[in-house]
Amino acid sequence: MSDGENRTTSADAPETPGSRQRAGGWIEVIAGSMFSGKSEELIRRLRRAQIARQKVQIFKPLVDDRFSEDHIVSHSEMRIASRTVRGSGELLTLVEDDTNVVGIDEGQFFDAGLPAACNTLADRGKRVIVAGLDQDYLGRPFEPMPQLLAIAEYITKTLAICVVCGDPANHTQRLVASSDRVLVGASGLYEARCRRCFRPEGPD
Ligand code: ADP
Ligand code: ZN
């Protein structure tokens, strides 16, 4: 995001450990609806860390096969290489000692162990950045994102644009009938909608 108009927090996370050379790491969460720019923002932060010559490792969960097996790809075609993992346990074993920054996309598709894994990594001095949906298609908090939001030092809420009316959109509208919480794959399954236009019971 370059304009910052849809940020609801003013606190931008520091790019590097603070000027006092703190040993501790921290957790940043980027949360919002689909199409709100979470992946773009995650990729932007990870690129900047790479430019700063920090060692960066990037992960996504196995369930997300939207676009690419080995890249995080945004809806606007920004991409960055990533490693697919089966869960938070595998992720933890793969993070190397000299890694400075850990990026994680689609946090909502991880198991309930993700917040503890992120805490472990941050306690080891790493900057951990997690992007993910904060609500499911019914507007319910999407675990484990609420738990991550509670323990994060820095939170960025991203909003999309409502495709019905053009207002800022905080909801992910499912366009097909299914009661599965996780429904990924084909395009055209979801669109961004504002509070007024959101129909959790099904699209009009
Ligand atoms: P997320 O990771 O939150 O699903 P992405 O970072 O993958 O979002 O994609 C964000 C991009 O999607 C925007 O920059 C824009 O180019 C595109 N886009 C498509 N539909 C919308 C929408 N309804 N609102 C905002 N951006 C949209
Ligand atoms: Zn609307």
26-158, what's its fold?
Rossmann fold (3.40.50)
- What is the predicted pLDDT for the residue at 51? 97
Please indicate whether residue 96 is annotated as part of the active site.
no
Q: Please tell me if the CB atom of residue 105 comes closer than 6 angstroms to any atom of ligand 1.
A: no
The whole-angstrom distance between residue 125's C-alpha and the CA centroid of its chain comes to 20
pLDDT tens digits along 169-196 = 999 999 998 888 888 765 789 999 999 9
Q: Is the peptide bond before 144 cis (omega within 30 degrees of 0)?
A: yes
Q: How far, in Å, from the CA of 38 to the mean position of ligand 1?
A: 8
What would the pLDDT profile of 67-101 be if each residue is shown by its tens digit? 557 999 999 889 999 999 999 999 999 999 999 99
Provide the pairing of β-strand 101-104 with 127-133. Answer: parallel
How far apart CA 141 and CA 8 sit, in angstroms, is 18
pLDDT at 163 over 60: yes
* The dihedral formed by the CA atoms of 147, 128, 64 and 115, expressed in degrees to the nearest 10: -20
Q: Does the structure show a pLDDT above 70 at 157?
A: yes
CB of 38 within 8 A of CB of 158? yes
173 lines ligand 1 (CB under 6 A): no
First to last CA, the chain: 31
Q: What pLDDT is stored for residue 23 in this prediction? A: 63
Residue 72 bridge partners (DSSP):
80
Quote the ligand 2 centre to 161 CA distance (angstroms): 8
Is the CB of 170 within 6 Å of ligand 1? no
Share of the chain above pLDDT 70, in %: 85
Residue range 11-15: mean pLDDT, rounded: 53
Helix then strand then coil, % of the chain, to nearest 5: 20, 25, 55
Q: Is the CB of 64 under 6 A from ligand 1?
A: no
Q: Show me where the domains of the chain are located.
A: 26-158
**Which of 152, 151, 160 has the alpha carbon at shortest distance from 29?**
152
Distance 204 CA to ligand 2 centre (A): 13
Q: Whose CA is nearest to atom 6 of ligand 1?
A: 37
Place of tokens 């598709």: 109
The residue from 106, 143, 153, 191 that is catalytic is 106
1 in ligand 1 pocket by Cβ < 6 Å? no
Distances from the Cα of 182 to the Cαs of 60, 64, 142, in angstroms? 15, 10, 10
